[in-house]
Amino acid sequence: MEKDITIDLHIEEDDTMTSVTAVLDLRGDHFEARGRARRNPTDKPMPVIGEELAIARALQTLTSEVMGGAQAKIDEYLAS
């Protein structure tokens, strides 16, 4: 069996801040996480770096939320 699962990433940027929201809907469970990156005002603009950092941080948080959801289901299963 193969499955494709999509994670939606929404990116918002201005001159110094990049914010990313990562959303995963998985079998009725909704997971949402945010990541941010701020450019030091003395650094030259490189939007791709801010995007990569903010995406990585959002996905890292999303990973923790999905792991927490799985652990809660394991705990519930073991308690029954």
Mean pLDDT of all residues belonging to the chain: 94
Structural domain that includes position 57: 7-79
CATH number at residue 39: 3.30.160.240
Q: Is residue 32 part of a domain?
A: yes
pLDDT reading at 38 higher than 90: yes
* Residue 2 resides in a domain: no
Domain count, the chain: 1
pTM for the whole structure: 0.88
pLDDT digits (tens, 9 = 90+) for 4-27: 999 999 999 998 899 999 999 999
- Residue 70 domain-assigned? yes
Contacts of 33-42 with CB under 8 Å at 24 or more apart are 33/58, 33/59, 33/61, 33/62, 33/64, 33/65, 34/58, 34/61, 35/59, 35/60, 35/61, 39/15, 41/16
Does the residue 51 lie in any domain? Answer: yes
